[in-house]
Structure 1
């Protein structure tokens, strides 16, 4: 039986006088059952972050980190620090690539030049999964253990547009290939009331099962 868990995103909006500084948000379970950690939240305030070079490594047949946040134009290295080979790939529209069976460090990093959600897997170890969130804004962050995140806003001297797109993404969304988008009236940012968005999550995945025949073949180098 498929179980869905409702979420509420409570946006604690700051007054317009400090709009150019930051916006604090809180993600919590529906009914106040507890905070939600690891939700990626971002806002289209017009800011752009400089590309960087990051790393997502494999260890203990897992990706580290499981969620990586990047500005558009960034590149990522995928070092294998296991004693087993991996075959890293993505079929996501935002970035399709294939790092065939390897150990150690691939020769060149992978460039992520389009915004979107990139889901990663391993052809040898089916349970391995990770995500890269590529965004074209600096107003982005991930909720902490209290379900809170503070976004640094930068409208500069210009007025904010009539509406802003608030993006909320979590790996257990029913469709985790894209964020849930909530349009916020910029005028509402001056109000003290909270904007609330309801989303659904799939249940926690089961623990890793035993290795299948193909996985056992590549267990040791």
Structure 2
């Protein structure tokens, strides 16, 4: 049985927190600039010497939405895009990390898409403009998403401490960054909790209505 995309994302994030015997940990808290509200779902990563093996995952379409909205996968992973709606979809990405186009289809595409470069991939549907999702393709094992309290704990490769480094760079990404095509970089001190603030765009308005073109494909 194919594991779900959510389970695979969770498994990848779990690798960011191995046993303390092999690494130290960095606790990160992310809040929103101006309000100090916790930021949920921010993706935090640190360059490491450890890599993660590719996985097979999926992002399915149901109720004219992508599920999950955000998927974190290692470089070289393959992602399937099954359509569970009775409406056809046309999935694409123009992102430099992966450009692809799955033309109008129902059911399951002929083959999964392989994501062979690290970066941020934004997904869209050429039939339903409101449909949007993101894939974070990573080449590091130290990566995770902030919880409802805006917190995440990452494993620090002990080689950093051995090298006498006192500070480390974090890459921080969120879909509502003003420029969400790239992460922002924050430098923090090792050995103490990190507090990061982000300036985010407002939540986008949602519109569940179907236009005429969407209606034509609803029963296909």
With normalisation by structure 2, the TM-score equals 0.83
Partner of residue 119 from structure 1, selected from 119, 122, 130: 122
**Are 2:148 and 1:149 equivalent residues in the alignment?**
no
Q: CA deviation at 1:90?
A: 0.1
Q: Which residue of 2 aligns with 1:3?
A: none
Cα displacement (A) at 1:156:
5.2
Contact 1:45 1:155 (C-alpha < 8 Å) held by counterparts: no
**Which runs of structure 2 are paired with 1:184-195 in the superposition (5 Å)?**
184=188, 188-190=189-191, 192=192, 194-195=193-194
User: Cα deviations across residues 26-79 of structure 1 (Å, max 9, x unaligned)?
Assistant: 112235642111111101122211110011000000000000001111110100
Deviates more, 1:100-109 or 1:194-203: 194-203
Residues 28 and 194, structure 2, Cα contact 8 Å, conserved in 1: no
- Long gaps (5+) in structure 2: 1-19
Residue 217 of structure 1 aligns to a residue in which SS?
helix
Alignment counterpart, residue 176 of structure 2, candidates 156, 172, 178: 172
- The answer to whether the 8 A contact 1:42-1:137 is kept is yes
1:28 aligns with 2:27: no
Residue matched to 1:216: 215
* Aligned position for 1:67: 70
Task: Check 1:86–1:43 CA distance in 2 against 1; reply closer, same or farther (3 A cut).
Answer: same
1:153 to 1:125, Cα distance in 2 relative to 1, 3 A? same
C-alpha separation between the residues in 1 aligned to 2:113 and 2:39? 30
Separation in structure 2 between the aligned mates of residue 158 and residue 30 of structure 1, nearest angstrom: 31
CA distance in 2: counterparts of 1:213 and 1:198, whole angstroms: 42
| Structure 1 unpaired stretches of 5+ | 1-16
Q: Give aligned pairs, total.
A: 200
Q: Distance in 2 between matches of 1:62 and 1:161?
A: 47
RMSD between aligned residues: 2.2
- Quote the offset at 1:157 in angstroms: 9.0
Q: 1:84 to 1:178 in 2, by over 3 A?
A: same
Partner of 2:186: 182
Q: Equivalences for 1:41-56 in 2 at 5 Å?
A: 41-56=44-59
Regions of 4+ moved over 6 Å = none
Counterpart-to-counterpart distance in 2, 1:31 and 1:157: 33
**Using a 3 Å threshold, how does the CA distance of structure 1 residues 35 and 161 change in structure 2: closer, same or farther?**
same
